Amino acid sequence: MTADTGIVYLIGAGPGDPGLLTIKAKECIETADVVVYDYLASPYLLEYAKKTAQLIYVGKKGGDHTLSQDGINQLLVDHARNGRTIARLKGGDPFVFGRGGEEAQVLLSQGISYEVVPGVTSAVAAPAYAGIPITHRDHTSFVSFITGHENPDKKDSSMQWDVFAKSNATLIFFMGVKNLPHIVQNLMDQGKAKDTPVALVRWGTTTRQQTVTGTLETIVANVKAAKLKSPAIIVIGDVVSLRDELAWFDRRPLFGKKIVITRARAQASALVTILNRLGAHCIEIPTIKIDPPEDIAPLKQSIQEIHRYDWLVFTSVNGVKFFFETLFDMGKDVRVLGHLKFACIGPVTKERLGDWGIVSDILPETYRAESVVNAFSTVEIKGKSVLLPRAREARTILPEELTKMGADVHEVIAYETTPCSDGRDELIQGLKSRDIDAVTFTSSSTVSNFVSLLPREDALSLMEGVVTASIGPITSDTARSLGFEPDIEAEEYSINGLVSALTEYYTTGD
């Protein structure tokens, strides 16, 4: 080992829920030059990687191997010899049926430094999210972790079916879905009671979690009827009977609902996070992109001449974002805005302005003319110069109403909303297979661009049975103009309002 040799972190990426990643694992990902990740590692974890990091997928599922284990081992060695820091992400814990021990041995034999970062194993997490404690004083005080798929090259099986059958331990099998008939038959042949409770938990801890229960005698038929496939954990033992009482994860109000998020990817995280917490499985199909204007000169010019203005009005969080980014890029800071009064459309825009230590003087709740007039009725706006940084194709109500009040309004393009069709094939496939429960719309542009992704002749049939949720009346009006009536409209025109409306719809049936 030389001074310029890198290091490999064998990291337990957890069972699927990105929130179960350890702090140390996150720190290792953030500093890595190379991130090598598995099929079972949550893709959200890659967001912690630095922009210059090389991301390498080496997933293996159902015999389909992107790279063989020997190939993965060599990959780690080669990058480490080039002086790189490698974050090797393995689902669950690297030393619990994760072949992390084998990778560590190879690294050691090649003189490569490594560290092991333990992770939350699915053997504990998946049953917990299904409401099954793997130990319980009234049921069992010990547990066995067992592979459901032994190394096919082993000459003699190490499976002690007679021991497993006689034990009252909770039995947890990894990677055993295909071998489920073999597993239950062996246990029953060795005397395990046919009415022993069994559960299979697929995609445990994620919004795709699916749990099937039964007994040794019925579980194979139940799993077949549910069409459950790997990856799944098999739990066998009396503790499974506690699920009816203790299940919590799949009792959340939006559990299992597959909801399309049409918002721009850069803005979708807040909505996705909230919906995930409520149990929804979010499918991100951004229909728009938010970019700086093609010509930034007018915005820069307005900032250069900011002393001319009395009011600065923001209509969206994007306006705030791009205005301040441009301001700082020009070598200025918020001190040049000290003479201004501020107005924001909507509470979230007000919050983003507050991030820069600025309190909005005026807060019209919506773009509706009445809201704008009422908000400005208590201040002297006549003869005042107003700067309005906004999107290229924005609604005209605000500048029109301010102009009627006697203000001198200067509109400047701060950002552009452009169509995005990257997820079109995924969207259409999901709609065709009836695998989408709802679609959310957070602006008029998300509606119009969503509709443009659908084949015109099949649009209505594809959307049949799909719930549509609008953030407010303006977005709803756009939807109606394009031929469909939203099923849900938020009373509060915000992300939280949209989530509340969705939750109410699915919990009350209204």
Q: Which residues are catalytic?
A: 38, 60, 175
Q: Are 117 and 59 in contact (CB under 8 A)?
A: no
Taking the C-alpha atoms of residue 355 and residue 358, their distance in angstroms, rounded to an integer, is 7
Q: Are 219 and 202 in contact (CB under 8 A)?
A: no
For 51, residues 6+ apart whose C-beta sits below 8 A from its C-beta are none
Beta bridge partners of 356: none
* Of 367, 342, 338, 364, the residue nearest 353 (C-alpha): 342
* Of 39, 52, 34, 50, the residue nearest 13 (C-alpha): 39
* Four-residue CA torsion sign, 95, 101, 107, 111: positive
Q: Are 315 and 349 in contact (CB under 8 A)?
A: yes
Report residue 166 CA to chain centroid gap.
Answer: 43
Going by DSSP bridges, is the β-strand pair 143-147/170-174 parallel, antiparallel, or unpaired?
A: parallel
Q: Are 347 and 321 in contact (CB under 8 A)?
A: no
The secondary structure of residue 121, as a DSSP letter, is -
Taking the C-alpha atoms of residue 134 and residue 120, their distance in angstroms, rounded to an integer, is 14
Taking the C-alpha atoms of residue 230 and residue 178, their distance in angstroms, rounded to an integer, is 8
Sheet strand arrangement including 311-314: 288-291, 408-419, 385-391, 311-314, 341-344
For 138, residues 6+ apart whose C-beta sits below 8 A from its C-beta are none
Secondary structure, 3-state, 403-451: HHCCCEEEEEEEEEEEECCCCHHHHHHHHHCCCCCEEEECCHHHHHHHH
The encoded tokens of residue 78 equal 């080669």
- Residue 84: Cβ within 10 Å count: 18
The Cα-based distances of 69 to 46, 54, 103, 106 in angstroms read 21, 19, 9, 11
